Amino acid sequence: MDSVLQNTLNTVVSNATPLVIAALGETITERAGVINLSLDGSLALSAMVGFVAAYAAQRSGVSAPVALALGVTSAALIGALMALIIAWGGITLRRDQVAVGFILTLLAADLAQFLGQDYTRIPGPTFPTVPVPFLVDLPVVGPILFRHSLFVYFSYVLLIVCWWWLFRTQGGLAHRAIGERPASAYARGVDVNGLRYLYTILGGALVGVAGAAFSLNLKPGWANPPSMRGDGWIALAIVIFGGWHPFRVLLGAYLFAALRAFASAAQRSGDVGIPLVLLNAIPWLAMILTLVFVSSGVLERLLRVLPRAVQNRARALLRSDPPAALGTRFEP
């Protein structure tokens, strides 16, 4: 395989990874019926805190691995804290989750810029690239998938765990049920609001980790305005694009990163004859077109050609309906 192409695909995977982690976190939250709209602000704030914590730890003489672990942990805590505010406002105080999320995302983004202003453009600790022994030697896929930082490997594990949990366990049934029809879950003895708190906080913590994946690995350091600005909204869009299904969410994030890479490559070569604005819009246009395709009758007609046993599987994989109780309150 062409090594240029391999390198490009390798970059696509690493560029997509923070999006994958954040979008999987949001998937966990939304599957439980809570919408955490604070992603864009949470990413920025946790990226900043993660970087500053790792930087300060390193300056005080701690070894690099410990400093990095501290950075990731504090970023996760910030993400969890933001999610806790969403859960508290939406569940306990019975406020509109969308409204709370919107306010929070604006607040957190500004807070990140304000608190992080003394830490801009300074070098700090970063996660090194760690090839996975043996796997990296696999033909074709090895160099693409297994020559990365720990964040990328974490996203692989997260994907599998997420899918397995949602679709292969009793706990996953309860998880999905509280997002679909909480009254049914409650009648089966599930603590609906307790679990909603749990999954909101867990999803938020993953958003925090995604923030750290930006500032400690992908775009090391901190800048004003932060380089990941807007990516929180993209992650939210990817969850919708991914139909709340972990594998499709991953695919969506990779696709988005690939289109972005294509757009910037085209810009650099400069002679494609397509206006710059249009190039930048390509990832968005592609997403809208796919959503239209998924929700149009064409897909359903294609599905009917398949044998019955496969049909339901395919439908579950391709479904684009949000969890039925998303953003609603449940009072037993």
Partner 1 sequence: MEIVLKNISKRFGAVRANQDISVAFYSGRIVGVLGENGAGKSTLMKILSGFQAADSGEIWLDGQRVRYRGAQEAVRAGLGMLQQDPLDVPAFTVLENFVFGNPNLANPRQKLAELAARFGFHLDADALCGQLSIAQRQQLEIVRLLALGVRALILDEPTTGISAEQKELLFSTLRRLAREEGMTVLLVSHKLEDVIALCDEVIVLRGGRLVGRTSMPTTPQALVAMMFEELSPIDARPSLPLGQTALRVESLHLHVDRLHLHNLNFSLRGGETVGLAGLDGSGQEAFLRVCAGLLRPQRGRVCVGEQDFTHRSYRDFRRAGVYFTAAGRLEEGLIAGLTLTEHVALTDEGDDGAAWINWIDAEKRAAARIARYQVRGQPYSPIETLSGGNQQRVLISLLPEHPRALLLEQPTRGLDVDSTRWIWQQLEARRQQGAGIVFSSAELDELVTYSDRILVFYEGRCVEVADVRQTSADALGHLIGGNF
Q: For the CB of residue 35, give the shortest distance to partner 1 in the complex, in Å.
A: 17
Could you give the string, one character per residue 208-227, with x where binding to partner 1 holds by CB under 8 A and - elsewhere? --------------------
Phi/psi class of residue 2: alpha, beta or left (left: φ > 0; alpha: ψ in -120 to 50)? beta
Instruction: Determine the Cα–Cα distance for residues 190 and 10; give it in Å rounded to an integer.
Output: 43
Q: Which is nearer to partner 1, 165 or 186 (CB)?
A: 186
**324 makes contact with partner 1 (CB under 8 A):** yes
Size of site (CB under 8 A) for partner 1: 23
Q: For the CB of residue 178, give the shortest distance to partner 1 in the complex, in Å.
A: 10
Instruction: Determine the Cα–Cα distance for residues 243 and 321; give it in Å rounded to an integer.
Output: 7
Q: For the CB of residue 43, give the shortest distance to partner 1 in the complex, in Å.
A: 29
CA distances from 177 to 54, 156, 184 (A): 39, 25, 7
Instruction: Determine the Cα–Cα distance for residues 226 and 106; give it in Å rounded to an integer.
Output: 14
SS3 assignment, position 130:
strand
Instruction: Determine the Cα–Cα distance for residues 280 and 43; give it in Å rounded to an integer.
Output: 22
Of 172-211, binders to partner 1 (CB under 8 A) are 173-174, 176-177, 180-181, 183-190
Decide: 267 and 279 in contact? Cβ < 8 Å.
Answer: yes
**323 makes contact with partner 1 (CB under 8 A):** yes
Could you give the string, one character per residue 121-160, with x where binding to partner 1 holds by CB under 8 A and - elsewhere? ----------------------------------------
Instruction: Determine the Cα–Cα distance for residues 316 and 310; give it in Å rounded to an integer.
Output: 10
Q: Which is nearer to partner 1, 166 or 257 (CB)?
A: 166
* Residues near partner 1 (CB under 8 A): 170, 173-174, 176-177, 180-181, 183-190, 309, 312, 315-316, 321, 323-324, 332
